[in-house]
Amino acid sequence: MRTKTAVLRIVAPLGVAALLLSGCSGGGAPAETESSAPAGPFTLRVNWGGFPVTWAPGSAAMQAGHLRIPYETLLTRTSDGQIHPNLATEWEYGEGSMSLTLTLRDDVVFQDGTPFNAEAVKTNIEYVKDVVGGQYGGPIAAGVKSIDVVDDSTVTINFTRPYGTFTTLLTQQNLPMGSPAAIADGSIETHPVGTSPWAYDESKSTAGSMMYFGRFDDYWGEMPAAENIELYAIPDDTAAVAAVISGEIDVTDAEAEQVPRIEESSDVDWYQYPALRNNITFFDRGPDGVLGDENVRQALCYALDVPVYASLDTTTHAADQHFIEGEPGYSADIDGYPHDLDKAEELLAEAGNPTLDLTIPAAPFNKQQVEIYAEQMNELPGVTVTVQDLAVPEYVATWSSGQFPLGIGSHPQITPQDWYGAWWADTARTNPSGWASDELKALAGQAYGAGDTPDSDEAWAAVMKEVADEALVCGHMQVDQVIAYNNTTVADVQPSEAVWEVNLIDYWAVKPAS
């Protein structure tokens, strides 16, 4: 399933539009060549279907494949869960995990020449917490009390409660480091400025179709093989795959339906990896909300037949909860809501058989899923769920804002603490109802109190079970992403170590084909 939850789709470049015409009219793949890679310094040409509507650090409108070109994080995390140094070289939690002190590299500058130091870290945290907000800024706003600049290379983050997973958050999309100067003048929203090896160059970009990120000579680390990256915005899968087959670009994401066409070409390889988790989230769930009755929410969940949608796409997999077995937060006691219309009608009867007139938003990338879920809920007596089509930017801005009583979207959080803080806490930015049950808050309090003790995992699993039992969320899907690349132009195209991130390859590993 192609996921464009945070990009503004732009018309294809003229060259690619021509490829679309020729690629569709021919019956076979282009003739093989020894290498289609251009001569000179290696420039990686990648397409993720569009550009972010904002490059603001910490914005949910920016997917990982975009973010990790200009920006870097303070720490990194490998797929086995281990935390490693990056812009921060050392870290230490204070007593009870109520604070975290970071020691920073002293040889880093931003791509605009602004120094990277403790003040820059403070600026970024406050910007994401107080200005950007959303599902990435929400946990920071709820969990960070203050930031102390100890000296240029040392910063202490003070928490409102034990936050032993904050180092994991520092590896994710929540808090990439952006230039304080660009943040201050607002230009960072359209001109990303980070610390990575690739600096945005507007003069070499083509408005509306290609953003050029060139070698940053003052980069603090070892340069990767790809000295430059050209980021394309080809919204049509057929055109994007044609561009990869011809060698006009190197890498693209694609719908599963494109795989047979990809496999016809010996010049193109592909893989798929688990990229995102989405679900249906009930937003108007306060005591006076249209979905404030737990029985009503449970009824809507039992009406869903998630495997029906999953069967339509080989990249989608039905799940009974957000976390998978082996991850913190997984609970073997969660049964989910298997399709049961009789049970759903019983629950509606217990709720007094209310008449529900609900509107759910849909964007082009998730319209099929939204329509199927709406159709299934509409099988219940007295329930009318109307699908409202939105353009991608409008959808991104509103689906979880409270404008709609329910919505379907991605939840990228990889720890139960962050998932609770982003969506279910009464202070969560993406909980527009501002409500959480006393039972849920009590369990979360116990889990926070457990800190990093052996009881922590069990305590958070209990929180996750309460979220499921209250039917705050259901209809869980795990979605793979298909990545296709031209093997005559590039080699070592592979998934990143980052988990559950969309439109992402390991940019550091890619090399020119020889």
Q: Quote the CA–CA distance of 482 and 484 in Å, as a whole number.
A: 7
* 402 CB burial (10 A radius; 0-12, 13-18, 19+): middle
Token pair in block for residue 338: 């298997």
**pLDDT mean over 71-94:** 95
Residues 367 and 419 in one domain: yes
Query: What is the total residue count of the chain?
Result: 514
What are the residues facing 85 on neighbouring strands?
75
Token pair in block for residue 247: 């060698």
Which helix (H) or strand (E) segment holds residue 269: the answer is strand 268-282
Contact 450, 443 (CB under 8 A): no
Residue, of 452 and 426, whose pLDDT is higher: 426
Residue 511 lies in a domain: no
Contact 477, 317 (CB under 8 A): yes
Which residues span the domain enclosing 12?
1-51+197-267+488-494
Residues 21-58 have pLDDT tens digits of 333 333 333 333 344 445 569 999 999 988 998 999 99
Residues 168-196 have pLDDT tens digits of 999 999 999 999 999 999 999 999 999 99
Residues 341 and 387 in one domain: yes
pLDDT the model gives residue 449:
84
Residues 365-375 have pLDDT tens digits of 889 999 999 99
Is 14's pLDDT higher than 60?
Answer: no
Contact 210, 69 (CB under 8 A): no
Q: Quote the CA–CA distance of 36 and 211 in Å, as a whole number.
A: 21
Residues 264-285 have pLDDT tens digits of 999 999 999 999 999 999 999 9
Q: How far is CA 91 from the centre of its chain?
A: 25
Residues 441 and 379 in one domain: yes
CATH of the domain at 465: 3.10.105.10
Q: Quote the CA–CA distance of 54 and 306 in Å, as a whole number.
A: 32
**DSSP per residue over 21-56, as a string?**
HHHHH-SSPPPP-S--PPSSS-EEEEE-SSEES---
Residues 294 and 443 in one domain: yes
Question: Tokens 């047979």 sit at which residue?
Answer: 260
List the end-to-end C-alpha distance of the chain, in Å, as a whole number: 32
Rg of the chain's alpha carbons, rounded to an integer? 23
pLDDT the model gives residue 411:
92
Residue 342 lies in a domain: yes
CATH of the domain at 152: 3.90.76.10
Number of domains in the chain: 3
Which helix (H) or strand (E) segment holds residue 17: the answer is helix 14-25
Residue 335 lies in a domain: yes
Token pair in block for residue 209: 């179709």
Residue, of 38 and 309, whose pLDDT is higher: 309
Residues 124-137 have pLDDT tens digits of 999 999 999 888 88
Residues 422 and 361 in one domain: yes
| Cα–Cα separations (whole angstroms), residue 132 to 124, 167, 218 | 10, 20, 28
Strand 99-104 with 154-159, pairing: antiparallel
pLDDT the model gives residue 39:
56
Is 19's pLDDT higher than 60?
Answer: no
- 442 contact partners, CB below 8 Å, separation of at least 6: none
Is 502's pLDDT higher than 60?
Answer: yes
| Cα–Cα separations (whole angstroms), residue 444 to 167, 293, 436 | 19, 21, 10
Residues 190 and 204 in one domain: no
Contact 35, 258 (CB under 8 A): no
Contact 441, 292 (CB under 8 A): no
Name the phi and psi angles at 316, rounded to 5.
-110, 140
- Alpha carbons within 13 angstroms on the beta-carbon side of residue 153 total 8
Q: How many CB atoms lie within 10 A of CB 441?
A: 15
Residues 153-162 have pLDDT tens digits of 999 999 998 8
Residue 418 lies in a domain: yes
**pLDDT mean over 391-395:** 81
Residues 227 and 182 in one domain: no
Residue 159 lies in a domain: yes
**pLDDT mean over 378-393:** 93
Contact 430, 423 (CB under 8 A): yes
The helix/strand count (H/E) of the chain reads as 16, 21
Residues 34 and 137 in one domain: no
pLDDT the model gives residue 314:
86
Residues 319 and 386 in one domain: yes
| Cα–Cα separations (whole angstroms), residue 308 to 317, 318, 383 | 10, 9, 20
Residues 436-464 have pLDDT tens digits of 999 999 999 999 888 777 888 999 999 99
Contact 275, 48 (CB under 8 A): no
Boundary residue ending a domain (165, 195, 225)? 195
Q: Quote the CA–CA distance of 384 and 277 in Å, as a whole number.
A: 26
Q: Quote the CA–CA distance of 494 and 358 in Å, as a whole number.
A: 42
pLDDT the model gives residue 304:
98
Residue 346 lies in a domain: yes
Residues 32 and 83 in one domain: no
Boundary residue ending a domain (166, 195, 224)? 195
Most confident of 199-203, 256-260, 273-277: 199-203
Boundary residue ending a domain (173, 195, 217)? 195
Residues 308 and 376 in one domain: yes
* 355 CB burial (10 A radius; 0-12, 13-18, 19+): exposed
Token pair in block for residue 319: 């799940």
pLDDT the model gives residue 245:
98
Contact 299, 344 (CB under 8 A): yes
Token pair in block for residue 267: 């010049």
Q: Quote the CA–CA distance of 166 and 41 in Å, as a whole number.
A: 38
Residue 508 lies in a domain: no
**pLDDT mean over 495-505:** 88
Specify the range with the lowest mean pLDDT, choosing from 209-213, 222-226, 381-385, 415-419: 415-419
Residues 187 and 88 in one domain: yes
Q: Quote the CA–CA distance of 213 and 252 in Å, as a whole number.
A: 17
Is 499's pLDDT higher than 90?
Answer: no
Residue 62 lies in a domain: no
CATH of the domain at 251: 3.40.190.10
Q: What is the pTM of this model?
A: 0.83
Q: Quote the CA–CA distance of 226 and 507 in Å, as a whole number.
A: 8
